Structure 1
Amino acid sequence: MSQKHPQSWLHLGQTALLSTALASALISTATAEPSTAPTAFLPEISITASPLTSDATQLALPSQAVEAQTLAEEQPNSLGTALGELPGVTQSGFAAGANRPIIRGLDNFRILVQENGVPANGASALSEDHGVPVNAASADRIEIIKGPATLRYGSQALGGVVNVLNNRIPSAPLTDTTGSLSATVSSVNNGHQESLKIETGADFGDSSNNISLHLDASNQHASDYEAPNAAGVEVNTATKSQSVAGGAAFHFATGYFGLSASTIDSQYGLPAPEDPDEPITIDMRETRINTKFVFDDLGEWGNSLTATLGYTDYTHDEIEGGLAIGATFDIEEWDGRVEWLHPAIGTMEGAIGLNGFTRDLAAGGEAEELIAPAKTNSIALFLFETLPLSESLDLQMGARAEHVEVEGTAFDTATLTESARSRSFTPLNASLALVQSFGEDWVASLNGQMVQRAPDALELFTKGPHHASETFELGNADLNVETAYSAEISLRRYSSPFTFEVSAYASQFDGFIYKHLTGRTCDHDYVSCVAAPTEELSEALFVQRDAFFWGAEAQAKWSLLTTSEGVFGIDGQADFVKARFTSDAAGSGNVPRIPPLRYGLGLFWETDNVNARINVLRASKQNSVADNETSTKGYTLLNANINTQMEIGNHQLDIGLVGHNLLDDDIRLHSSIRKDEVLQPGRDVRLVLTAHF
């Protein structure tokens, strides 16, 4: 590690000056957003979990959301950072620019990341060093569905769905011009981030016709971040990114259609390189175009019809030593979806849908040694139904049939030859759930599911070195469908002053696919692999074993004191997941990279103009390790923030101060494959300014 930044706090002073400029800018702007009232922990609104209801109390699957106010106050620089401290959610922590959410110990090909309902994984599921091409700072809301959500979203949602909502295709008519301008500086990495959002619209013709427009842009730059306890900086963790997006929607009496386009360009370093003289930097670029059609009134033909179509062009370059491009990954993908809310059949309501995608993966340079070009096609039919059994008891049912074809080049380790292979899979999924309400305060749910996932092209056809992750990866072209039998029970209370949610779950996996570290090391071809730590790359095989996952999550909020000035209270959370292999293969039996037990408490004060909280999250030591995996010590994470809203005329300026890891504790994430080499960031203080107009 190198020495610390000599001017880590310089940008704090610069942003204090910037606040004056932002306040001045408000004088000439239009209508401001109103002050935010104290939060009441009301039922979350979830458009991701169900096509039939927006009330989270009526959902069988547990859902969470990070709201616009929290996102604006904290300005997260990655999706993993935004979600990683929620109950049941952790982060991959590979690099500052490559940080995916992990849900209940599951990640990569089992977690589907979406933007406005359209898949947005890019190449992030292919490897831990690949970033998620989504700008978390531009989000209005991020929704998380924990547990198997494959019935509506397909095989890649076996572990859950993360849906980033940013209204780039305005879903409701706009008639005023509104927007926000934000600036953030951080001490831990001498970083700064700026973002802009503007929305406007106007009626034309009769009052039922409207054109609405959206624009957002962001810029982010950070140097290598400081490690805890005066250990210097974590080398090659600098990041920078820029994004621009725009969209438009035409609203008419019975619905709307719209189009959006976005581009993101991100560069970030990978810490602890195998060759310190040639550190690897990632240059990630993506262009995405989405369209959406919504018809809200179909008369006797049903309640609504929604269709989306998305196109993604993604490129990921791995630059060695700051000069030459060593490896390139290119992905071109089309995603389509149609969902019809059919007429009620007696008291039963439901939706029938069709969705599919086609994805072309190409690799260049050294990446050609890892995987040859591959193509995946998927088409699926699904249905989701709700049947009231009484005034307080609902039965929710779902089913999905999917056909997946994967084409690529397989490598035979016995003959050291390659051959073209084509695999076809038919994952089937079914679910059954009961949701019971008790008065207006309590909701209990019980659900069971059988879900299946087809292997990804990378799991089938990888065949060589991946220097960015320092692994030599070997797929298995004979992998079968992965099947999970899951059950979950939950109890929720959403009425103040005491609200809580607790859930327990279990999943039996038949043929769980995972990346197994063999303990062997390799150079640049398979014949170089030896049973000794003498080569640069760790051998990793994609294999299947039966496994059993189980765990629980809880969160609660108690408003202890409510006055005319505001609300003071306490909140808490806890989560754990255990995962062991149940087949008879030799080894420790533990599934790798499973997060430890976490628990925490917080205090909050909420008023019309000031929100403040302090919370501590304790992660226990993880001793349940897999083969060739080391234990990870626990840590204590202390965070605090305060946000105040100032009225300037008819406008609003938000000023926030956010502290993260205030104890400067050494944090290593057991879910990270680089946790033995890389510490997470040390103490960080951020100043966040947001002007609303």
Structure 2
Amino acid sequence: MKYSPIALVVAQLLAPAAYAQDENKDEQHQHENTEVIVINASPLARTELNSAQPVSVISGDELREKQAHTLGETLAHEPGINSTHFARVASSPIIRGLDGPRVKVTQNGLDSADVSRGSPDHAVTTETSVAQQIEILRGPATLLYGSGAIGGVVNVVDERIAQEHVGGTRGFFGGNLASVDDLRDVNAGVSTDIGNTVLHVDGFARSSDDYQVPSFTNDEGETTDTIENSFVDAQGGTLGLSYLFDGGFIGASYARLDQEYGIPGHHAHEEEHGEEEHSDEPHEEEAHEEETGPFADLKQNRWQLHAGLENPWQGVEQLSVRYAYTDYQHQEIEDAAPSTTFTNEQHELRVTANHQLTDQWYGAFGYHGFLQEQAAFGEEAYTPASETDRHGLFWLIETRENKLNYQLGVRYENVSINAPTVELGRQQHDFDPLSASFGVTYQWHPAVMFNANYSFAQRAPSANEIFANGAHLATQTYELGLNYDVHAEAEHLYVIEPNERSIELETSHSLDLGAHFETGENHLNINLFVNRVNNFVYESFTGLNSVDLAFDHDDHADEEVHEGEPEGEHDHEEGLPVVQYNQEDVVLFGYEIDGRWQLAPNWRLDAFSDYTRAYAIDNNANLPRIPSQRIGAEFTYNEGNWESSLGYVWYAEQNRVAANEERTPSYGLLNAQFNWFPQGFSRYNLSVYVKAENLTDKLGYVHTSFLKYDAPVAGRNFSIGLRGEF
């Protein structure tokens, strides 16, 4: 059962009649044959072609070919998208140089509800192997998703809650084996009609060992060709049930995820500078820890509810309700016992109503509520327990007049962040972010479309950015949040005290300009962007060491920290460099270009390039871990029931580095793939592929990674897999 309002909106947006009436029928037919993929991340049924904001969608075979264990690695070759590359075990997406709490990761439009936004060694819990499509919104997407989406949104869409009958039974299956890490990966899913209900079940299992790299010398001066403790063992499943009736549907789902993965380099500092009195007395447990290293044990239970109604009352054509409850736990295991535990209990509700204002103007308004309770305890609980409460109201409208399509929106949000256990400084901070945008698309010619979008977006700092106060061993630093300041009490003694300055909203002014050219099977996308962010929250090195820190609420802190040590003779090798969260005005600008050209009936060329430049306005200081420029191209040849491709991606040297950051040399990756579509299995859409990555076994360091010189990109890798549908 497809909703007629959505169908009407899509028809209105894509109908050739919207083009100039004097265009010939062949040009109109060209657009009618273009594959249309509706973006679920927008309530107005936009597509890649008619969105003023840059959007891309990965689905079908393209998604299966790019699928990796982590979301970041899956999207790493998309224009404008990079990966934090935490040794392939916990990589998150970076959009135009922004990551962490500025990039929203959602599952079917609702937050993934993990703790991946707070630390690079925490995995994203969305699973791409069972996904239907992945949608990427570049630039601020705060109107629907809130202030956590000031940098963009990655929405993973699956079929766990059906909105229409599937026409009997349909499903998918797949598997993959790889050499570089001895990967074993299987996935499958099925949806079936049972009367007025639709049942959906899917699941996956994945296991891999430490991955291989070209021989290199790490930060400890050791030569190795294996990234130790980079194994992965993950499995999960989803059960969903929908009831369809005249004028609507209601469905619910339950998903379970269990994942264990190594944390390479996580505690290298601690092991190197630990208590020396134990070094001569190795224990059995210590030997085991040295052999296996610390690892993460992640568990997530997620319940979702989704309901929709057609024409529930006058003036509202469609009403949608989405709700999710997530219970999440992440433990870091050392010596067979939890050393640190992170938990997150989260509720999220979004109610959206589509309405028709006039014959030309239509839109959607709604409410978005979000309650997050996070806690951490153990040796790396650098952020205290906190509760984040958000309530937002939004309104999006658009119209199409001949060749022009105008898109406007506004959102008001109230954010309250409370950390009741904090003993120093304020325990609660309240913010009122306001965001708005205006965009336009112009169909200058049936084959040429231009788009422009301006966004004013505000973001409330996260609980971690405000209240962090402790050792963060994943980044080998001691973090101090915006809630604190540091005062020099004496030589080699610095007191942590409350920050008297107010914490400001991050405010972004972003402009996107784009052009899309499409003729037959050829297309070209060009996007230019500039983004000024006032009060940008970032970490800066203070030049201090954690052994020199004390708290002003402890009158004897200096005696306890330095007891038995002569003044000025503290062993800084036992501490960590102190980083302080600050706020400063910055600017980011760059471009994304990608295209596809059918060179001959059997030959196709795909190419892309992207670039991001980011620096502070006052002193022109470079921001840390900004990705370098990339240029990539791939030639594909197809013949009958097979095709082959050869591609190369070049990563430029990154020499625009921040303070205490090293430049990263350039490198290139050569990849090849062969796909075979066996005859006689067309009903299963079966394909078998053989893939070779990094054929030249090139050593490559990822500038955006916290483990840049400890965990390079994987070496030469051969994989074989199959996928199919029924």
Q: TM-score, normalised by structure 1?
A: 0.87
Superposition pairs for residues 358-397 of structure 1, below 5 Å? 358-368=371-381, 370-388=382-400, 390-397=401-408
SS of alignment partner, residue 504 of structure 1: strand
Q: Does 1:628 align with 2:660?
A: yes
Q: Does 1:262 align with 2:276?
A: no
Q: Which one of the candidate residues 599, 603, 620 is aligned to 1:568?
A: 603
SS of alignment partner, residue 386 of structure 1: strand
Q: Which one of the candidate residues 666, 670, 682 is aligned to 1:638?
A: 670
Match of 1:97 in 2: 89
Q: Which one of the candidate residues 134, 145, 161 is aligned to 1:142?
A: 134
1:102-152 Cα offsets, whole Å, 9 max, x none, are 000000101000111111041000111100011111111111010111011
**Equivalent-residue separation in structure 2 for 1:438 and 1:379 (angstroms):** 40
Shift in alpha-carbon separation, 1:129–1:625, aligned structure 2, 3 A: same
Match of 2:208 in 1: 222
Q: Does 1:684 align with 2:720?
A: no
Match of 1:293 in 2: 307
Q: CA deviation at 1:410?
A: 8.1
Tell me, yes or no, if the aligned pair for 2:113 and 2:346 is still in contact at 8 Å.
Answer: no
Superposition pairs for residues 396-411 of structure 1, below 5 Å? 396-408=407-419
Q: CA deviation at 1:663?
A: 1.7
Q: Which amino acid aligns with 2:692?
A: G
Superposition pairs for residues 101-500 of structure 1, below 5 Å? 101-203=93-195, 210-229=196-215, 231-272=224-265, 273-274=267-268, 275=271, 278=290, 279-298=293-312, 300-321=314-335, 323-368=336-381, 370-388=382-400, 390-408=401-419, 418-419=424-425, 421-477=427-483, 478-500=502-524
Q: CA deviation at 1:683?
A: 1.1
**Equivalent-residue separation in structure 2 for 1:67 and 1:656 (angstroms):** 17
Q: Which amino acid aligns with 1:688?
A: G
Structure 1, unaligned runs of 5 or more: 1-39, 204-209, 412-416
Q: CA deviation at 1:520?
A: 3.5
Q: CA deviation at 1:662?
A: 1.5
**Equivalent-residue separation in structure 1 for 2:399 and 2:191 (angstroms):** 39
Tell me, yes or no, if the aligned pair for 1:229 and 1:665 is still in contact at 8 Å.
Answer: no
Tell me, yes or no, if the aligned pair for 1:612 and 1:643 is still in contact at 8 Å.
Answer: yes
SS of alignment partner, residue 93 of structure 1: coil
RMSD: 2.2
**Equivalent-residue separation in structure 2 for 1:142 and 1:248 (angstroms):** 22
**Equivalent-residue separation in structure 2 for 1:447 and 1:51 (angstroms):** 18
Shift in alpha-carbon separation, 1:156–1:609, aligned structure 2, 3 A: farther
Structure 2, unaligned runs of 5 or more: 1-31, 217-223, 273-288, 484-501, 551-557, 563-567
Q: CA deviation at 1:73?
A: 3.3
**Equivalent-residue separation in structure 1 for 2:708 and 2:448 (angstroms):** 41
Q: Which amino acid aligns with 2:129?
A: A
SS of alignment partner, residue 297 of structure 1: strand
Shift in alpha-carbon separation, 1:471–1:280, aligned structure 2, 3 A: farther
* 345-354 vs 286-295, greater mean Cα deviation: 345-354
Larger Rg: 2
Q: Which amino acid aligns with 2:608?
A: Q
Tell me, yes or no, if the aligned pair for 1:75 and 1:184 is still in contact at 8 Å.
Answer: no
Tell me, yes or no, if the aligned pair for 1:519 and 1:532 is still in contact at 8 Å.
Answer: no
Q: Which amino acid aligns with 1:319?
A: I
SS of alignment partner, residue 49 of structure 2: helix
Shift in alpha-carbon separation, 1:608–1:244, aligned structure 2, 3 A: farther
Shift in alpha-carbon separation, 1:366–1:63, aligned structure 2, 3 A: same
**Equivalent-residue separation in structure 2 for 1:410 and 1:41 (angstroms):** 60
SS of alignment partner, residue 468 of structure 1: coil
Match of 1:541 in 2: 580
1:472-522 Cα offsets, whole Å, 9 max, x none, are 111112421100111110000133242110010101111000122334333
Q: Which amino acid aligns with 2:200?
A: H
1:208-247 Cα offsets, whole Å, 9 max, x none, are xx21111111111100000125842111111110101110
* 640-649 vs 444-453, greater mean Cα deviation: 640-649
* 45-54 vs 592-601, greater mean Cα deviation: 45-54
**Equivalent-residue separation in structure 2 for 1:211 and 1:647 (angstroms):** 35
Tell me, yes or no, if the aligned pair for 1:46 and 1:143 is still in contact at 8 Å.
Answer: no
Match of 1:666 in 2: 699
Q: Does 1:581 align with 2:616?
A: yes
**Equivalent-residue separation in structure 2 for 1:127 and 1:509 (angstroms):** 22
Tell me, yes or no, if the aligned pair for 1:96 and 1:239 is still in contact at 8 Å.
Answer: no
Q: Which amino acid aligns with 1:462?
A: A
Match of 1:506 in 2: 530
Shift in alpha-carbon separation, 1:660–1:518, aligned structure 2, 3 A: farther
Q: CA deviation at 1:44?
A: 5.5
Q: CA deviation at 1:542?
A: 1.3
**Equivalent-residue separation in structure 2 for 1:447 and 1:532 (angstroms):** 54
SS of alignment partner, residue 464 of structure 2: helix
Tell me, yes or no, if the aligned pair for 2:161 and 2:253 is still in contact at 8 Å.
Answer: yes
**Equivalent-residue separation in structure 1 for 2:84 and 2:185 (angstroms):** 22
Q: CA deviation at 1:655?
A: 0.8
**Equivalent-residue separation in structure 2 for 1:318 and 1:441 (angstroms):** 53
Shift in alpha-carbon separation, 1:433–1:682, aligned structure 2, 3 A: same
Q: Which amino acid aligns with 1:234?
A: I
* 655-664 vs 230-239, greater mean Cα deviation: 230-239
Match of 2:626 in 1: 594
Q: Which amino acid aligns with 1:644?
A: W
Q: Does 1:521 align with 2:545?
A: yes
Q: CA deviation at 1:647?
A: 4.0
Q: CA deviation at 1:75?
A: 3.8
Q: CA deviation at 1:264?
A: 0.6
Q: CA deviation at 1:66?
A: 1.4
Shift in alpha-carbon separation, 1:448–1:54, aligned structure 2, 3 A: closer
* 337-346 vs 41-50, greater mean Cα deviation: 41-50
Q: Which amino acid aligns with 2:386?
A: A
SS of alignment partner, residue 214 of structure 2: coil
Shift in alpha-carbon separation, 1:525–1:94, aligned structure 2, 3 A: farther
Q: CA deviation at 1:171?
A: 2.4
Q: Which amino acid aligns with 2:509?
A: Y
Report sequence identity in percent: 29
**Equivalent-residue separation in structure 2 for 1:535 and 1:146 (angstroms):** 42
Match of 2:285 in 1: none
**Equivalent-residue separation in structure 2 for 1:479 and 1:410 (angstroms):** 19
**Equivalent-residue separation in structure 1 for 2:515 and 2:65 (angstroms):** 30
Q: Which amino acid aligns with 2:244?
A: H
Q: TM-score, normalised by structure 2?
A: 0.84
Match of 1:554 in 2: 593
**Equivalent-residue separation in structure 2 for 1:147 and 1:480 (angstroms):** 21
Q: CA deviation at 1:378?
A: 0.2
Tell me, yes or no, if the aligned pair for 1:49 and 1:61 is still in contact at 8 Å.
Answer: no
Q: Which amino acid aligns with 2:171?
A: G
Tell me, yes or no, if the aligned pair for 2:48 and 2:57 is still in contact at 8 Å.
Answer: no
Q: Which amino acid aligns with 2:603?
A: F
Q: Quick one: higher RCO (CA 8 Å, sep 6+), 1 or 2? A: 1
Match of 1:610 in 2: 642
Tell me, yes or no, if the aligned pair for 1:179 and 1:197 is still in contact at 8 Å.
Answer: yes
Shift in alpha-carbon separation, 1:524–1:107, aligned structure 2, 3 A: farther
SS of alignment partner, residue 492 of structure 1: strand
